[in-house]
Amino acid sequence: MESYLKLTNQSQGKDRIFRATQYACALTRHLLQDEPLSKELLQKLKSLESNLSSGRKLLRLGNTLNSIDAAKKNLQLSDPVLRFCLTVANINRAFYFICDNVLWARNIGLIHNINKENWSLNATRFYFLSLIMNLTRDAYVIAQIMVQRSRDRQCQQKLNQHLSESPDVAQVIIPQLDAFLFLLIESLKSHPSVALDTLKNVCDLFIPLDRLGIYHTNAGVANFCGLVSSLLGILSVLKPNFKIKP
Domain ranges in the chain? 2-151+191-242
Contact 77, 53 (CB under 8 A): no
Amino acid at 102: V
pLDDT at 158 over 80: no
Tens-place pLDDT, residues 19-48: 999 999 999 998 888 777 677 888 888 899
**Sorting pLDDT into bands at 50, 70 and 90, what band is 11?**
low
Comparing 168 with 231, the larger pLDDT belongs to: 231
pLDDT at 7 over 60: no
Q: What pLDDT is recorded for position 238?
A: 82
pLDDT at 4 over 50: no
Per the confidence metrics, is the pTM higher than 0.85? yes
CA distances from 90 to 25, 97, 159 (A): 29, 10, 38
Q: What pLDDT is recorded for position 74?
A: 95
Q: What pLDDT is recorded for position 205?
A: 96
Comparing 178 with 48, the larger pLDDT belongs to: 48
Mean pLDDT, rounded, of the chain: 86
- Could you write out the DSSP letters of every residue in 52-98? HHHHHHHHGGGHHHHHHHHHHHHTT-SSHHHHHHHHHHHHHHHHHHH
CA distances from 199 to 127, 186, 203 (A): 16, 16, 6
Q: What pLDDT is recorded for position 241?
A: 87
Q: What pLDDT is recorded for position 107?
A: 84
**Across 78-99, average pLDDT:** 96
Q: What pLDDT is recorded for position 163?
A: 62
**Sorting pLDDT into bands at 50, 70 and 90, what band is 228?**
very high
**Sorting pLDDT into bands at 50, 70 and 90, what band is 234?**
confident
How far is it, in rounded angstroms, from Cα 158 to Cα 223?
A: 39
CA distances from 218 to 11, 101, 138, 204, 229 (A): 31, 27, 27, 14, 17
**Across 55-62, average pLDDT:** 81
How far is it, in rounded angstroms, from Cα 46 to Cα 57?
A: 17
Tens-place pLDDT, residues 189-215: 999 999 999 999 999 999 999 999 999
Q: What pLDDT is recorded for position 177?
A: 74
Task: State the DSSP code for 37.
Answer: T
Q: What pLDDT is recorded for position 18?
A: 87
Q: Rounded to the nearest 5°, which phi and psi values hold at 76?
A: -90, -5
How far is it, in rounded angstroms, from Cα 20 to Cα 229?
A: 8
**Across 135-158, average pLDDT:** 87
Q: Which of 241, 242, 243, 236 is nearest to 20 (CA)?
A: 236
How far is it, in rounded angstroms, from Cα 1 to Cα 228?
A: 33
